[in-house]
Amino acid sequence: MKRIALLGMPNTGKSTLFNRMTGAAARVGNWPGITVELLAGKILLGSDMIEIVDLPGIYDLHGFSEDEQVVRHFLHDNVPDLALIVLNATQIERQLSLLLQLKQLNLNMVVLLNMADEAKKFGITIDTAKMTEALGIPIFLLSAKYGNGYHEAMQAITRALRYTTPGMAENLRDQLKPDEQMESEMARVLQHSVQVPARLPDNLTSQLDHVMLHPWLGLPIFFGIMYLLFQGIFFFGQPLQGAVNELFGWLRDAAVEPLLSGLPAALQGLLLDGVYNGIATVTAFVPLIVLFFLFMAIVEDTGYLSRAAFLMDALMAKMGLDGRSFVMLLMGFGCNVPALMGTRVMRSRSLRLLTMLVIPFSLCSARLQVFVFITAALFSPKAAPLVLFSLYLFSFASAILTALLFKRRLPNNEPFVLELPPYRFPTMRQMVLRGWHEVYHFIHRAAKFIVAGVVLVWLLTHLPPSAAPASADTWAGIIGAWLHPLFEPIGITPELTIALIFGFVAKEIVIGSLAVIYGLGGDALSHALAQQLDWVQAYSFMLFTLIYTPCLSTIATLRSESKRTSFMWFSIAWSLVLAWAVSFLFYQGARMLGY
């Protein structure tokens, strides 16, 4: 099978092109010679199956960041049949240096000048024929976002794959030309093939930045946008969630129960009250997860998150972090794992470790399911968005406190450099693909964790056979009673304690576990929780769930990225201590005030 390596600087639209080429049929896997995971997808070109590997964005091959090392190692140990170089056409004078470095490696190459639509708006004219002649590489204009030029690019890629890569240097660094030669070659190519207006026209980006980057209004605007995002999730998502609950309830009554009616009572209970109730309750959150990532796709793809990093850099610097750390925290809203892997762009090891220590406090999508369910069950529709927003604030507060406490042990002197891209509105296709990615990830995790988790919970709540289901005499009841002295001061019941234990594996299991423990699903489970818990207990439980030990996938990533088992154990212990302390202060404080 032939392989294409997708290369380019950050913010050139590589991921957009990758998604367009693969149709989101991507996987993550390890590669020979490197110890990190890269995104890959397979497509059919002509009669051949081709694998496309999306490499991290890099600025040049001279760098020492982990991402730049990953690219060098990949090209050395996994020589691609074709290197697909993606450059930002609006910044061609800055991006050409990377192309000239890659050209020296004697790779089989095709160059795509992406964002050609934006370059046209800015009055930038690129003569691809002259540039192709000057460099001896096929070069094409493209808009990966809208698909303009995509057909011609794919034809060129198909043609280029007929030829093999001439060869690779054994030592990439030694083969690169001196910077002076690179600069003169860049000037020659740009002079003959690129026309850039002396002054780019005023555009919406500069006008918006006057407001969005205002020294006093910038941060309130950011938090206001995030609050509106949560309001939108609840406004549009709760009706959809209710519809999914009703659908699963009808399906159980009409089809599943009659189908399983001939089975033994114990097996019937396992399949209905365990597997079906657990999966149905968790699946009801798919609409909310999709909405969350549709809205987040808009915020991210517009280029606004880079502005948020810029706004937060001064504050983050006081905590020993920088604006990139804030971006990683925001990435953690989706999943902590890719956020941890994103710290590779940081050259300072101390900065990386401190950032990795705070990322697990990000309120990821798995925790979001738990909080949406609890807030919908115990808080009014008017209060629910405020409660969820407050949990995000607690998420930031936990990260800030952790950074302040440990910044002296992990000092950082690395300068912060950030590029602010122009504002862009994502297409509907991009947003749908993003939503599908997250649903696929959700379903994939469900297959791995949730089914096994709810089955195990059902067994714990129904064994030994002599005990009444979900009673204090079951194994789950015994475990809950044993841990009760530890969790009673923070208002967490034995039932919630069992759910927290399984949440250590994956937070998606928490709601499914509650469905099994109570033997109820959907609205019935919500009503049962509302009767047994008051809002103080519920909020304390959510605080503990927010802060305590992340899922096993995050812990494994912490170990692999930090390369220190001691750091992983320290992160686990610190999160448990902080979670208990915060929940204790809230719960006992609220009780003292008479709530």
What's the pLDDT score for residue 218? 86
**Range from 434-448, 476-490, 516-530 carrying the lowest mean pLDDT:** 434-448
One-letter amino acid at 355 equals T
Residue 169's pLDDT band (cuts 50, 70, 90): very low
What's the pLDDT score for residue 70? 82
More confident residue, 422 or 167: 422
Q: What is the pLDDT of residues 193-208, one digit of tens each?
A: 888 765 445 567 778 8
Six token digits for residue 480: 């809950």
What's the pLDDT score for residue 167? 53
What's the pLDDT score for residue 31? 41
What's the pLDDT score for residue 490? 96
Q: Which residue has the tokens 């890569």?
A: 165
pLDDT for 566 beyond 50: yes
Say if residues 295 and 233 touch (Cβ distance below 8 Å): yes
Q: What is the pLDDT of residues 221-250, one digit of tens each?
A: 888 887 787 778 778 877 887 788 789 889
Say if residues 134 and 192 touch (Cβ distance below 8 Å): yes
Give residue limits of the domains in the chain. 2-195, 219-414+438-592
Residue 311's pLDDT band (cuts 50, 70, 90): confident
Residue 426's pLDDT band (cuts 50, 70, 90): confident
What's the pLDDT score for residue 30? 40
What's the pLDDT score for residue 360? 94
Report the C-alpha gap between 238 and 217 in whole angstroms. Answer: 32
What's the pLDDT score for residue 223? 81
The residue-averaged pLDDT of 326-352 equals: 79
Report the C-alpha gap between 331 and 350 in whole angstroms. Answer: 20
Residue 406's pLDDT band (cuts 50, 70, 90): very high
**Range from 34-48, 74-88, 518-532 carrying the lowest mean pLDDT:** 34-48
Which range, 63-77, 164-178, 525-539, has the best average confidence (pLDDT)? 525-539
Residue 24's pLDDT band (cuts 50, 70, 90): low
Contacts of 453 by beta carbon, 8 Å cutoff, 6+ apart:
278, 502, 505, 506, 509, 512, 513
What's the pLDDT score for residue 33? 42
Say if residues 109 and 85 touch (Cβ distance below 8 Å): yes
What is the number of residues in the chain? Answer: 595
Average pLDDT, the chain: 82
Six token digits for residue 448: 């791995």
Q: What is the pLDDT of residues 459-509, one digit of tens each?
A: 888 888 888 876 778 888 898 889 989 999 999 998 899 888 878 877 877
Residue 196 backbone dihedrals phi, psi, to 5 degrees: -115, 130
Residue 85 backbone dihedrals phi, psi, to 5 degrees: -95, 120
What's the pLDDT score for residue 323? 80
pLDDT for 532 beyond 80: yes
What's the pLDDT score for residue 445? 59
Task: Name the superfamily (CATH) of residues 2-195.
Answer: P-loop containing nucleotide triphosphate hydrolases (3.40.50.300)
